[in-house]
Chains A and B, each alone.
Chain A
Amino acid sequence: MHADAFDRFHEADSRLHRLDPRVKVVVTTLFILSNALLPDGAWAAFGLSWIVLLWANHLSSLGVEFTFKRSFIALPFALAAISAIFSPLGNPLADWSIGPLTLIPTDYGLIKFGSIMLRSWISVQAAILLVATTRFPDMIHAFEHLHVPAILTTIVSFLYRYLFVLTDEVMRLLRARQSRSGSVAGLKSGRSVVWRARVTGNMAGQLFLRSYERSDRIYTAMQARGYTGQLRTLNPHVMQSRDWVFAALSIVIILLLQLTGRF
């Protein structure tokens, strides 16, 4: 039941699912890079990027609206960019006085803000599609192929493997705390913030120790299976012609998007 919470992977038999994970990682990165390279105000190019994204959604057979539904994750951060609207450059559009503050939105500012939001919104959807169509262990393999140091990918593998176990423990610790967080009529419950923070810190400490000792047991188990420091994994990914074709096609599309953005 809990495992679902960490499985961003959505099973399906689609062209995208069957592609080599290296290709998907590289193409997604290039696509996000392409967005970053598009100049502010390149609305046509942004629009086309979005259409390309929708088409990719379709290819994944997860539904055209798949990433759209999940795309508002970066929304809180939009607040950080709102001040861009009031840039000193560009032509003023209005003059708002809110108390001691004078806010002057400019055309340059609005264009900048809109571009930032679009880039972010489109890029995050590309990332969502990537993880939805690629099993995480395959992604780790992809990074190994792409020469990310083995120690890092191994750490990430362990992270992934034990993430569920540990977050489950956290949930149960939180539940235990909740169960004993009672109140009686007439008394102020919960004590002080400092006390609550200390209890939380204790929980973190508990969790840490259990994790540390668990790693000892894991190491013992690994030794029992002959581990001497080198993790060997099977990397069964072989680039096929469809992978090369997809990669080439993607690069062409990205170049076209860039061209559109410049003219």
Chain B
Amino acid sequence: MPVTHKTTPITTPIFEGCDGDVLTVEDLHFHYPDGHVALRDVSLKLCEGEKVALVGPNGAGKSTLMLHLNGILSGEGEMSIAGLRIEPDNLPAIRAMVGLVFQSPDDQLFSPTVFEDVAFGPLHMGLPEDEVHARVDEALEMVRMCDYRDRLSHHLSMGEKKRIAIATVLSMRPQILVLDEPSAGLDPRARRSLINLLRELPITMLVSSHDLHMVHELFPRMVIMDEGKIVADGPTAALMEDEVLLEAHGLEKP
């Protein structure tokens, strides 16, 4: 019988002096219309260049938290991106700064061609056409999919779609990349390719995943969520050793 821990957050600030210059979440509380409380007093800070993994069992509130980061959901508490508070008036500006990629790429790709999907963000922002072209090329280059520019999104494989989905937000040059289960549903080759991609991207990122091998490999910092709360936030290596903690929150040591 596993021993269940009382959930005391380990708030070892790994990056001393990190004042949350990219992302600050303070005491976020959110409940759905039917009363179900999805987030309780969630607080989080991310600094420039950090790569942070968000792990926890299904229903822990990871996706819910992510949907708050670009204002799709709004709960009680304060949040800001690069100093700009997330408020109803600021949402368009926030969305240009937060690159949120959903779990299912089919939801993300809604244009006929790859080019149009990647171009949507910059186009909507009102950038001039040549700038848009430049950004699309840049984004596709970052995900190593330049050849796919004129392909039809509909015909791509899951792995290809996931990379294009990332490109669709990279073209907006966001401050932070927020990915929901990027490696879910990928075969080993596509997964390896994605891991390499994430390693190379020089952007602050918050990535939720069940894939603890990938977490261990890529993300120096790990945040564990369970039942709407953050129960641990610290160096991945150290947390991964704490088997009791992992098991208590539905995780298995890789």
In the complex, are there CB atoms of A and B closer than 8 Å?
yes
Q: Which residues of A contact B (CB under 8 A)?
A: 1, 4, 169, 172-173, 175-185, 187-191, 195, 199, 202-203, 205-206, 209-210
Chain B residues contacting A185 (CB-CB under 8 Å) are: 93
Query: 9 new A-B pairs (CB below 8 Å) besides A185-B93, A206-B110?
Result: A169-B106, A176-B110, A179-B72, A179-B95, A182-B94, A190-B124, A191-B124, A209-B154, A210-B106
Chain A residues contacting B104 (CB-CB under 8 Å) are: 172
Q: Within the complex, what minimum Cβ distance (angstroms) separates B48 from chain A?
A: 19
Q: Name B92-119 residues within 8 Å CB distance of A.
A: 92-98, 100, 102, 104, 106-112, 116
A182 touches B72 (CB 8 A): no
Chain B residues contacting A205 (CB-CB under 8 Å) are: 112
A203 touches B125 (CB 8 A): no
Residue among A176, A181, A184 having the largest count of chain B Cβ atoms under 10 Å: A176
Chain B residues contacting A169 (CB-CB under 8 Å) are: 106-107
Chain B residues contacting A203 (CB-CB under 8 Å) are: 110
B92 touches A182 (CB 8 A): yes
A176 touching B108 in the complex, CB below 8 Å, given contacts A182-B97, A183-B96: yes
Q: Is B44 an interface residue (CB 8 A)?
A: no
B72 touches A178 (CB 8 A): yes
A1 touches B172 (CB 8 A): no
Interchain residue pairs with CB less than 8 A apart (6): A1-B34, A176-B102, A180-B95, A180-B121, A188-B126, A191-B126
B110 touches A184 (CB 8 A): no
With A and B bound together, what is the CA distance between A177 and B92 in angstroms? Answer: 12
A189 touches B120 (CB 8 A): no
A191 touching B123 in the complex, CB below 8 Å, given contacts A180-B168, A181-B92: yes
Among residues of B, the one whose C-beta sits closest to the C-beta of A187 is: B126
With A and B bound together, what is the CA distance between A173 and B121 in angstroms? Answer: 14
B110 touches A199 (CB 8 A): yes
Contact of B95 among A182, A206, A210 (CB under 8 A): A182
Chain B residues contacting A180 (CB-CB under 8 Å) are: 95, 120-121, 124, 168-169, 172
A184 touching B34 in the complex, CB below 8 Å, given contacts A172-B104, A173-B110, A176-B110: no
What are the nearest 7 A-B pairs in CB distance?
Answer: A182-B96, A187-B126, A183-B92, A182-B95, A172-B107, A180-B121, A203-B110
